[in-house]
Amino acid sequence: MSSNNVLLVDVDPVRRELLSTLVEFINCQAIIVENIDLWFEDAGDLSNIAMAIVGDCGDKHQTKQLLRELVNHESRVPVFQLDLPDSEVVDFPGTLGSLSIPVKYPQLSNALQQAVIYRGQHDGVADNQIYDFRRLVGNSRPMKAVQRMIDQVSESDANVLILGESGTGKE
């Protein structure tokens, strides 16, 4: 995913500012929606949105409508909800998860990583990864398991420890 724009939707200006600061801290650009009725104009091209964070939109009907529009949009925006204590909208179908308040750096970073993987799966990036696995020798069940594990971590910057006996091709 080449975009680093994060769509922030919340009626609370203090929460919006806090989220905006956190988003900038992880080297992303916050696109803030202040007027819920005009969110689509504020968001611009949704294909350039890495993920959306939706908090309180005023009432539960507006929140559900916005979540429905984001989740069902053709650009397949990864959507996370803010886990607000008085929220009536919980675990909306199609969202990737929720972020608890106050949002911390590791939680936001993990959400962004999930969004990258989600976008990769829906943009066809995962199909390109499968091609690289064809160069690996072997079609046995254990080799297929190794290929699945490689696919799981290939989109992240995670360190991977590969154990095995000497001379078994762990390159």
pLDDT in tens, the chain (171 residues): 457 888 888 888 898 899 999 999 888 888 888 777 777 776 777 778 888 898 888 888 888 888 888 888 777 888 898 888 777 666 778 888 888 888 888 888 889 888 888 887 766 544 444 445 556 666 778 777 877 777 777 777 777 788 888 887 776
- Find, among 64, 95, 66, the residue nearest to 78 by Cα: 95
112 and 40, same domain (yes or no): yes
82 with 147, same domain: the answer is no
- How many domains, the chain? 2
β-sheet with 5-9: strand ranges across: 29-33, 5-9, 49-54, 79-83, 97-100
Residues 99 and 144 in one domain: no
Domain hosting residue 117, numbered range: 5-122
The pTM assigned to this predicted structure is: 0.66
Contact predicate 56/84, CB 8 Å: yes
